[in-house]
Amino acid sequence: MHRQLLIKLCAIMLIRNSWLRTQMEEKLQVLVGVVVPPGKEFALPAFRQATRSLLGDGFTVKKPGMPIEQQRKIMVDEAVKRKMGLLLLDCDIIPPENVLDLLRVKAAIVGGAYLGWQDMGQAKIAPCAYAEADKGIAFIPVDYLIKGQVLPVAAVGFGCAYLSLEVMKKIPYPSGVNEDVEFCRLAREKGFVVGVHSGVKCVRKTPNGDLSWPVARAGLRFTTDV
C-alpha cells in the first residue's frame, strides 16, 4: 500500500544494469525502470532505502556502465512490447512518496521536479525542466516550481518521468546526449503534451551533497533557504 493506493506487484524483469518491475494500480498498468547512469552507482544505497516501500528491495545491478540513453531505450522498447506506460527513475534522483501522482496527469510525458547543474552559456543550479525559447529551450526559474502544480513545458529530464504508451508507440526513442529533451521535442511536434509536476519534488544525490527543495532562485548560490 502506498498512500492508500493498492499496488499489486505482478512481475519482475532484470535487464542488464537496470531492473524493471510491473505494477498495477487499479486498472492502470505501468512498467517501472530504474536507470543506473555511469558513475552514479554511489547513489544506489540511498535509492534502495528511499524506494523500498514502493518498489521493494529485490533488484540487482549487472554490467554497470551502459550509456544512459541505451538503458532508457531498452526500457521504452520493453514497455511498448508489454503495452504499458513507463515510469523512469534514475538511481541518483530520489523520488518522493507521491511519485505516483505523475500517473494521474493528463499529459503524454510528465516529469517530476528535480535539480541539476545546467549550462546554457552560464553554469547554474536549475530545474531539469525547460521552457520554449527563440533558439530552442531555456531554464525555468525555481520560483515557478515552488508550488505544487502541473505546468506545460517544452521538455523535462527523464531522471523522474512518466511516458505514456501512446507517445512511446509514435516516437522512436532517440540516441545521443540529451536524448530525453529530444524525445520531448519530437513528441511536441506530433501534438503531444509535455508537463512538469512541481508537487513531485525529488532529491538529487551528488558526491558533494544533495540538491533538494526548497532552494534559492536559479543562478544563485545553492542554499537550503528560500
The torsion angles phi and psi of 75, rounded to 5 degrees, stand at: -70, -40
Per the CB < 8 A criterion, the answer to whether 157 and 116 are in contact is: yes
pLDDT at 211: 87
pLDDT at 121: 64
Nearest to 32 by CA among 65, 187, 47: 47
CA distance 226 to 213: 9
pLDDT at 198: 93
Sorted by where each begins, the domain ranges of the chain are 7-211
pLDDT at 159 over 60: yes
What is residue 18's three-state secondary structure? strand
pLDDT at 64: 64
Of 53 and 186, more confident: 186
Overall fold of domain 7-211: Spore Coat Polysaccharide Biosynthesis Protein SpsA; Chain A (3.90.550)
pLDDT at 91 over 80: yes
The tens digit of pLDDT for each residue in 116-152 reads: 877 666 667 888 999 988 777 888 888 888 888 899 9
Of 100 and 23, more confident: 100
Average pLDDT over residues 54-68: 72
Average pLDDT over residues 108-112: 97
CA distance 117 to 126: 6
The torsion angles phi and psi of 68, rounded to 5 degrees, stand at: -60, -40
pTM exceeding 0.85: no
